[in-house]
A and B are shown apart, each in its own frame.
Chain A
Amino acid sequence: MADTAAIDVAPIAAALPTRRDDKALHRMIFVGIALLLIAAPLVLYPVYLMKVLCFALFALAFNLLLGYGGLLSFGHAAYFGMASYLCAYTAKHLGFTPELAILSGTATAAVLGLIFGSLAIRRQGIYFSMITLALAQMAFFFSLQAKFTGGEDGIQAVPRGNLFGVFSLADDRAMYAVVCVVFMAGMLLIYRIIHSPFGQVLKAIRDNEPRAISLGYRANQYKLAVFVLSATLAGLAGSTKAIVFQLASLTDVHWSMSGEVVLMTLVGGMGTVFGPIVGALVIVTMETYLAQFGAWVTIIQGCVFVLCVLLFREGIIGLVAKLIRKPL
């Protein structure tokens, strides 16, 4: 099985079995997050918070694939970015209301995930990652050349519009409320997927694929299913971001965005429920508040990443989970 896992994706922190009282703890954390989301705009800028939430959802979607499916995609920017283009386009040029625009972006990511995923899952380990990267590069060049994406300019001045045609989202606080709902719904859905009969099979395939096959599971179908789910949720994050920032640009389909989501997930803790949220918070905060240092941000980020890998391989939340001996 030399080619099954080029990278050791078996998460260390998630290795703790989830028991019933742990689920109670998770529920409390969910309530805590909801309360924090309500209180946060009193102290912090809603736009910054919305950026964190969009990236947190993106990282959560990515972690579903990496931490629980054991699949390292290096092309998740394609689903995030293409969804944001479609969302921006339908909102601006077709006059879609924001929820319909977000849905159309998300659906685009699902279809793209189905096509790219069914090609990529035929290979394992590093070859899988390389195929996802190559396909994402194709999506990037398509975005660069196609007319509707606006090339280098992207799609600018996307109207936030009125939710359900009624509620104006022009105000940041109204927009923030919508983003919170999208984020909470996405996070809870991912939590449910992880703790479902499907999630159980997924973890078995991640742990030992040949054995899962010998039990009669068609592993590739499960891998494709989780790939599509992950791409779809990444698309939901990208679409929401396009509405928030009223912009879809090449940055979101660029390979460095694929790298950034890997970074967020690893810093926060791969294979943990809450790690990607913390990872996104750390990375976005660094980018926002260290912006004055210009190009140095990348170097600081690099140092943080190296330190993370050296000091706590299991990520911030992974480390906490290990210390309190509970899966997080």
Chain B
Amino acid sequence: MARDVILATDGLTMEFKGFRAVNGVKLEVERGTIHALIGPNGAGKTTCFNLLTKFLIPTAGTIRYKDKDITGMRAADVARLGLVRSFQISAVFPHLTVTENVRIALQRRLRGDSFDFWRPEKVLRALDGEALALVEAVGLSDFADSLAVELSYGRKRALEIATTLALDPEMLLLDEPMAGMGHEDVDRTAQLIRRVSKDRTILMVEHNLSVVASLSDRITVLARGQVLAEGDYATVSKDPRVVEAYIGAGHA
């Protein structure tokens, strides 16, 4: 049975002055799945993530997205192909309103580049309806005209998700979506991720193995920059090397 791979890396390596943060990682993400990349602290998850989103350029190896080599592409251009990332710290535009935050993403998707400095802002009002619908979808209607800087942490994350969804990406890369969240927020975010995963592929980096247990179809465990194990939760959680890596790291 042929696997439908949307994102693949081969021999992905990132070296920082002699230290290999990511060492020959081979990763294959199947279309339409939720794939989790986990590992203890310092395993190279975030570096790996930054390589995939082109915020870092790998020292060796290739990255292919939809059978296209994107290894040398710029971050903004990868986003234009429908491969969109989130950030660990809630990434909003603090001095724009909630609606404007979402609209800026719609503006890119529907208008392309906006170098038209001579046109009035009015031309963007056509996007307001769709922006407000997205704002409502994440439960921020009451804050539509507030500045993003005034939102609480949880709401900023919701706004970030609405902004990302405005791009209607084919594949989402989530960087520790649950980082810094309380229990209730974790459940709510998990539901939100499951909801947006419909018709989309998601690759998420997570620190916590149990958080991704119910959510992911497939898990890749990284340790010291290399792939330690891969499979579904049942397989991975029983793997003695994984158990050792986690407990070893926990007691170090």
Contacts and interface: CB of A to CB of B under 8 A. Distances in A.
Interface in A281-303: none
Interface in A200-241: 200-201, 203-204, 206-208, 210-219, 221-222, 225, 229
Interface residues of B, number: 43
Contact of A197 (B74, B85, B119): B119
B97 interface: yes
A199 interface: yes
Given A17-B147, A214-B84, A215-B104, A199 B117 contact: yes
A215 B114 CA distance: 13
A204 B93 contact: yes
A281 to B, nearest CB: 26
Nearest to B81: A216
B118 interface: yes
A53 to B, nearest CB: 23
Contacts of B247: none
A11 B94 CA distance: 11
A315 B179 CA distance: 38
A225 B113 CA distance: 12
A193 B104 CA distance: 16
Contacts, number: 118
B115 interface: yes
B167 A216 contact: yes
Interface residues of A, number: 35
Contact of B115 (A19, A215, A225): A225
User: Main secondary structure on chain A at its contact with chain B?
Assistant: helix
Interface in B117-170: 117-121, 123-124, 145, 147, 149, 163, 167
A306 B139 CA distance: 45
A198 interface: yes
A254 to B, nearest CB: 30
B79 A207 contact: no
Interface string B83-109: 011110001111111001001110111
A210 B105 contact: no
Contacts of B118: 192-193, 196
Query: For B77, B86, B95, B97, which residue has the most chain A Cβ atoms within 10 angstroms?
Result: B95
A195 interface: yes
Contact of B95 (A14, A210, A222, A229): A14
A15 B163 CA distance: 20
Contacts of A221: 113, 115
A17 B111 CA distance: 23
Contacts of A204: 93, 96, 104
B74, B75, B86: most-surrounded residue (chain A CB, <10 A)? B75
B244 interface: no
A203 B120 contact: no
B94 to A, nearest CB: 5
Nearest to A218: B76
A178 interface: no
B116 A214 contact: no
Contact of A192 (B77, B104, B108, B117): B117
Interface in A5-26: 10-11, 14-17, 19
5 contacts: A196-B119, A200-B124, A211-B92, A214-B87, A215-B163
Interface of B: 53, 55, 74-77, 79-80, 84-87, 91-97, 100, 103-105, 107-109, 111, 113-121, 123-124, 145, 147, 149, 163, 167
Interface of A: 10-11, 14-17, 19, 192-193, 195-201, 203-204, 206-208, 210-219, 221-222, 225, 229
